[in-house]
Structure 1
Amino acid sequence: MRTDPNRQLLRNLGILAHVDAGKTTLTERILYATGMTHKRGEVHDGTTVTDFDPQERDRGITIFAAAVSCAWDGHRINLIDTPGHVDFSDEVERSLRVLDGAIAVFDAVAGVEPQSESVWRQADRHGVPRIAFVNKMDRVGADLDAAVASIRERLRAVPLVVQLPIGQEGGFTGVVDLLRMRALRWVDGSDVAEEGPVPDALREEAHRRRRMLEEAVAERHPAALEEFCTRSEVSGPTLASALRDLTRDGEGLVVLCGSAYRNRGIEPLLAAVVAYLPSPVDLERPADPAAPFAALAFKVVAAATGRLTYLRVYSGTIRKGAEVLDAGTRNKERISRILRVRADRHTELDEAAAGDIVAVIGPKTARVGASLCAPAAPVLLEPPVVADPVVSVAIEARRATDTERLATALAHVVEEDPSLTVRTDPETGQTVLSGLGELHLEVAVEKIRRSRGLDIGVGRPRVAHRETVVSGVSGLVYRHVKQDGGAGQFAHVVLDVEPVAEEVFVFESAVVGGAVPREYVRAVEAGCRDALADGPLGGHPVTGVRVRLTDGATHSKDSSELAFRTAGRLGLREALRACVMALLEPVSEVAVTLPEEVVGGVLGDLAVRRGRVSGSVTRAGTVTITATVPLAELFGYANRLRSRTHGRGSFTARPAGYALAPAR
């Protein structure tokens, strides 16, 4: 394999954070600092590059992951600004699947917030190296040390702080670079940092923190430890090299700070991206432009004017006009155009090589998660995980003549966002749209209204329930015998069913003496999984159950995998009807932030909504209450909270699994 130096100068990274931590503002400042824009875009003015969708500008939040490309210090940076709201966590999941590194943004006042934890865990699952940027250092109550402590405690990370802030809150003017022991100051009105010696008032503290950084790195890096033991210190170059290794191995988290809104701390952050985050050639499977082509489709925009498919190229080189294979469907597609993406603007390219993130025009059927590859060298890449929907609404066109147009529009939004599903309710005949939250569905419906000009009626949101076993049964015997003139079907199974604590399905075989052959055991398990789709209480999926196959019998001629799969399905359905079952409802972990003087009313409202308060933190006159609340009780809560707090309260929620629903 050859090493392409251009791949070493490439960084594919995302910006991850809790909603309102400043991700989009940071992205805008990066684009401004790298010369990609000549005016700073502002979220509150609706002038940002990445939040270009009308709904994003109206709501002031990021909804859709947007890709941009810029250059810094001879490196090209492909940057994806991801949503911070929990309802759009699947956008984050799809982005993380194709990224090599990430900047985790934290609010200097709030520290680690609930959605910060969620995106952190997502990045952990994908093994994405990260650096941290503690933003909003100019806000009242900003505290770098408190934010770092929350990173250590709530994320179980090892923060390695490489900067010391100069000034506090409104007086924040710069940072001390602890590696070079130099001060960087940003004067109002200037876009470039002024470099100088460490201020006398901070010199002692800077040396103390540099020593803490050296000790922390030496504990985790052999070369740094050797130098520390030999010289009682770690040199700047060794420290930088060790920080790079620790970041890429996930053993440490480099922490920087600044104020994106005031354009302070952006250049050191870009330098850290280049210095510490990996290039495609640093990965476990390095990108090779000379290998057969392979790419993953991680985003599809199915607009009425054309279809854009976003690709992460993992190996090989793709050129305009090339034919590629969709390894999953075996369909062949033609690449007619290749585009370098800058949010809603594009630059045409002749080719894209391993490590690139680009959009292509041409593929007509490739879905999110599709593996596109050279026809002569097919390869199937692991697709992003899609979350199960938890909220549903009935949707219909108000005019009968628009029914077909609505069906086409729904097909397009589901094609773009696999976490949305559409089905027809067999009892009512209604079209049901399901997603990850109330806002998720609101955005999807509004997108259809705006893009298609449709007048749509929407029902009240409903949550997706589950069923579980409270008390099981033992020794349930089920015999499947079918004779219809030809080859018959015979399968005999004996099942034990019992509850398990987790929301999982566990299948075990305790058959002895070969009473049920191994291939038939697998068929019984498949049949049991089929039965879990429709529980006895209301046709909801069943979870939290262990099924044990204890015995059975076969027929020399009439037994088959089909017969045992049928026996497993029908036998478990009969067993579940004999069990004591309970209904589960989705619950969310809620963090409500509000002024101290209105806490009582909000606590009372949470109690009415069946919320269970787990804690509260008071800081600078503001209280953050954490509670577990049934998802069904959160519909309309944003308006209620604004009313009770006179517009000064806010809340965030993230999925917290399922809990027993009250008896009906």
Structure 2
Amino acid sequence: MINMQMRNIGIMAHVDAGKTTVSERILFYTGKSRRIGDVDDGTTQMDWMEQEQQRGITIQSAATTCFWHDTHINLIDTPGHVDFTAEVERSLRVLDGAIAVFCAVGGVQPQSETVSRQANKYKVPRIAFINKMDRVGANYQSVLTQIAEKLHLNPLPIQLPIYENDNFAGVIDLITMQYLVFDESTQGATVIKESIPATYLTSAEEARTAMLDSLSTYSEEIINLLLEETPIPEELLISEIRKATVTRQIVPVMMGSALKNKGIQPLLDAITYFLPDPFELGSVAAKKIYKNKSEDIQVIRSESDDFIALIFKIQQDKESGALCYIRVYAGSIKAGTMVLNVGKDKKERIGKLYRMHARTPEQMNELKAGDVGVIQGFKLAQTGDTITNGAPILLESIQFPEPVISIAIEPKTIADMNKLKEVLTILQREDPTFIHKENTETGQLLISGMGELHLDVITTRARDEFKAQFNLGKPQVSYRESVESSSQATETFERPINGKETFAGLTLSVKASERGSGNKVINGLSNNVLPENYQAATIRGIEAALSSGITLGYPCLDVEVTIEDAVYNEDLAHEVAYQSLGAMLTEKIASNASPILLEPIMAVDIEVPNEYVGDVISKLTSRGGIVLGMDMNESIQIIHAQSPLTKMFGYSTELRSQSQGRASFSMKFSHYEKKLS
């Protein structure tokens, strides 16, 4: 019986690098699909949402399962647009390896850097695939340099491209020293191995020598064989590349043209050769939860232990309800089993178990450690929840960026209100970076997201998929409040609660924290001054006041509040009294500490042809933008800038007009700054 290995991998890239095309070829060559899907035709299997097919972009991460030789591959295709970076974040959180796709012409682009930082954050080993080698202007050497200089990675090219009559013909495998040709009559399904053409032999030998020299930095065995001038066995070479890849010392680099059906089978081989099996990796950090405390522990990846899994995505299905995507770290689980949602301290029954192929489910009897699968039947679960059938153990959750843009939304008729709220709740459960809330004073509904495209996609889904009827207002900015000076005050609280007299006394101080450090509540009390439960109640009140704002109702940011002193009367003490006083006193001292309004500043990257650079910079500056630097890439300039979000509404239309549709830009949140006007 063949011992089946497993790989949990994702495909990540800047928008238009061709990652969905790579995914479609992987499905075709592994036999998962019988035809090749096309992004331009809207026939891809991984981009199955109607909007994805209409817009030609990936919006939601899509999971599938395929098999290559003796390896079971769980594959997740992630979005490339910065507005949907949360999809990349939650995918990388549960993956063991990744394929980073780069355009041979565009190279390392802004979102390439973002997803690389996310992969670094979760310590994900990766392989690089330089795509679009058939394009005019393709320059793999330039891409290698950019991977090293911009991403601070160590690229190890293990292939060399071959061109015939200026057309990309195939690749030289520097490990086996063979020329790989992809038969066009079989849509590249047949890979023909030939001797290296004489005209390329010298450059191939030089490239192999450079590869071995680079690898010897991380391998004693390789360096010893090089010093002895002994031939290096192919198996040893693969083994040493694998070790250095899994430990994230190197990134093997491959190349091809997914659109032209070239280079995908060697990439599949590399996935099995160089990326880790789930059980090769170390244990997973977690917390064991007790009644009044928690303990840091490590969860061993094993099928024999208690079942532990992380819910990393929720997708609403019209027929099945909520589908919870999980990564199983330990143990196994069967349909019908009761499990504990640790964070919510609630038990729920697993309805059905699935493996997904994009949106097509394959029912399973059991999911085991290492698996990526789907649970149907949960009502309370949210993204980031831990589920288990053993002791309460909490895996590290997933951190998402806060939304920076809001739009007012209102039902077309009063009768549509409940339907609209229900739809928004479903969409918010699916997407942690989408938030809807109601202003309790005005009754106005606000939806918030990561950008104009993000909210456009969400509202289009609400209207088309869920048939909600509504009108939209103009985009609004999610401001924050802070303070510029310091203040201190002492107050008492003496009011009846539930008919009983209560008393609380506090002295609080407030001052500005360093910009970007977040809010801090410093407890300067000991249990001798105020018992622990009343201290906790005071902190809850302070945090509630900071979240509700100072003067305009926006959440506070970079504010430090210190509990300086307290007055305690054992007979009259009440937690609600200390919580209420903490909130009221925080609001008072913050109002006396020179409150200011902070606005979101966006990092803007604009790709523009040389002839339009001057006009683009001039217009951007007039919008309040500040140019931080520029990179040259062939005939394209990449402008790196910062601009207040308020100044960037409608910029995409203006940029298209300026450049005759040839320029593009991406924008992501950078930081908050004091609003000057």
TM-score band (shorter)?
Answer: over 0.9
Distance in 2 (alpha carbons) for counterparts of 1:406 and 1:128: 39
2:329 is aligned to 314
1:482 is aligned to 494
How is 1:142-157 mapped onto 2 (pairs within 5 angstroms)?
142-157=138-153
289 and 609 in structure 1: CA distance in 2 versus 1, 3 angstrom threshold: same
1:36 is aligned to 32
> Which of 442, 445, 459 is equivalent to 2:456?
442
Amino acid at match of 2:261: N
Distance in 2 (alpha carbons) for counterparts of 1:551 and 1:224: 65
Q: Give how far 1:572 is off.
A: 2.8
Residues 154-196 of structure 1: per-residue CA shift (max 9 Å, x gap): 2111112211121299522222211222221235444122212
1:575 aligned onto 2:596:
no
2:51 is aligned to 55
2:291 is aligned to none
2:214 is aligned to 216
> Which of 625, 628, 637 is equivalent to 1:623?
637
Distance in 2 (alpha carbons) for counterparts of 1:640 and 1:15: 32
283 and 163 in structure 1: CA distance in 2 versus 1, 3 angstrom threshold: same
Amino acid at match of 1:357: V
Distance in 1 (alpha carbons) for counterparts of 2:429 and 2:540: 28
Distance in 1 (alpha carbons) for counterparts of 2:511 and 2:52: 48
Q: Is the 2:508–2:586 contact (alpha carbons within 8 Å) kept by the matching residues of 1?
A: no
Q: Give how far 1:519 is off.
A: 6.9
Aligned identity (percent) is 37
> Which of 611, 615, 618 is equivalent to 1:601?
615
1:417 aligned onto 2:431:
yes
1:388 is aligned to 402
Residues 101-155 of structure 1: per-residue CA shift (max 9 Å, x gap): 1111111122211111111111222222111111111112211111111111121
> Which of 270, 273, 293 is equivalent to 2:271?
273
Distance in 1 (alpha carbons) for counterparts of 2:80 and 2:610: 26
227 and 521 in structure 1: CA distance in 2 versus 1, 3 angstrom threshold: farther
Distance in 1 (alpha carbons) for counterparts of 2:674 and 2:198: 61
1:130 is aligned to 126
564 and 272 in structure 1: CA distance in 2 versus 1, 3 angstrom threshold: same
Q: Is the 1:524–1:565 contact (alpha carbons within 8 Å) kept by the matching residues of 2?
A: yes
Q: Is the 1:537–1:583 contact (alpha carbons within 8 Å) kept by the matching residues of 2?
A: no
Distance in 2 (alpha carbons) for counterparts of 1:546 and 1:278: 44
Q: Give how far 1:493 is off.
A: 1.7
1:528 is aligned to 542
> Which of 209, 215, 240 is equivalent to 1:242?
240
> Which of 334, 340, 351 is equivalent to 1:336?
351
Q: Is the 1:325–1:333 contact (alpha carbons within 8 Å) kept by the matching residues of 2?
A: yes
How is 1:26-425 mapped onto 2 (pairs within 5 angstroms)?
26-167=22-163, 171-190=167-186, 191=188, 192-231=190-229, 235-285=233-283, 287-307=301-321, 308-374=323-389, 376-425=390-439
623 and 508 in structure 1: CA distance in 2 versus 1, 3 angstrom threshold: same
550 and 297 in structure 1: CA distance in 2 versus 1, 3 angstrom threshold: closer
CA RMSD of aligned residues (A): 2.6
142 and 504 in structure 1: CA distance in 2 versus 1, 3 angstrom threshold: same
Structure 1 residues without counterparts, runs of 5 or longer:
none
Residues 607-628 of structure 1: per-residue CA shift (max 9 Å, x gap): 2221111122334332222211
Residues 395-447 of structure 1: per-residue CA shift (max 9 Å, x gap): 12213322222222112111211221111113321111111111111111111
The TM-score with structure 1 as length reference comes to 0.92
2:606 is aligned to 592
529 and 170 in structure 1: CA distance in 2 versus 1, 3 angstrom threshold: farther
Could you say what secondary structure the match of 1:312 adopts? Answer: strand
Q: Is the 1:10–1:76 contact (alpha carbons within 8 Å) kept by the matching residues of 2?
A: yes
1:472 aligned onto 2:486:
yes
Residues 261-304 of structure 1: per-residue CA shift (max 9 Å, x gap): 11111011111100111111112135423322222222222233
290 and 650 in structure 1: CA distance in 2 versus 1, 3 angstrom threshold: same
The TM-score with structure 2 as length reference comes to 0.91
Q: Give how far 1:12 is off.
A: 0.9
Q: Is the 1:596–1:621 contact (alpha carbons within 8 Å) kept by the matching residues of 2?
A: yes
Distance in 2 (alpha carbons) for counterparts of 1:5 and 1:544: 57
Residues 290-340 of structure 1: per-residue CA shift (max 9 Å, x gap): 322222222222233222222222222222333333333344333332222
1:639 is aligned to 653
Deviates most, 85-94 or 309-318: 309-318
Q: Give how far 1:29 is off.
A: 0.7
Distance in 2 (alpha carbons) for counterparts of 1:210 and 1:513: 68
503 and 538 in structure 1: CA distance in 2 versus 1, 3 angstrom threshold: farther
Alignment size in residue pairs: 656
560 and 251 in structure 1: CA distance in 2 versus 1, 3 angstrom threshold: farther
Deviates most, 502-511 or 444-453: 502-511
Amino acid at match of 1:242: E
Deviates most, 431-440 or 287-296: 287-296
Amino acid at match of 1:241: S
Q: Is the 1:179–1:236 contact (alpha carbons within 8 Å) kept by the matching residues of 2?
A: yes
1:495 is aligned to 509
Distance in 2 (alpha carbons) for counterparts of 1:552 and 1:170: 79
Q: Give how far 1:567 is off.
A: 4.4
1:428 is aligned to 442
Could you say what secondary structure the match of 1:389 adopts? Answer: coil
Q: Is the 1:491–1:559 contact (alpha carbons within 8 Å) kept by the matching residues of 2?
A: no
Residues 563-598 of structure 1: per-residue CA shift (max 9 Å, x gap): 554444333322221222322211221121222222
Amino acid at match of 1:381: L
Could you say what secondary structure the match of 2:304 adopts? Answer: coil
Deviates most, 42-51 or 511-520: 511-520
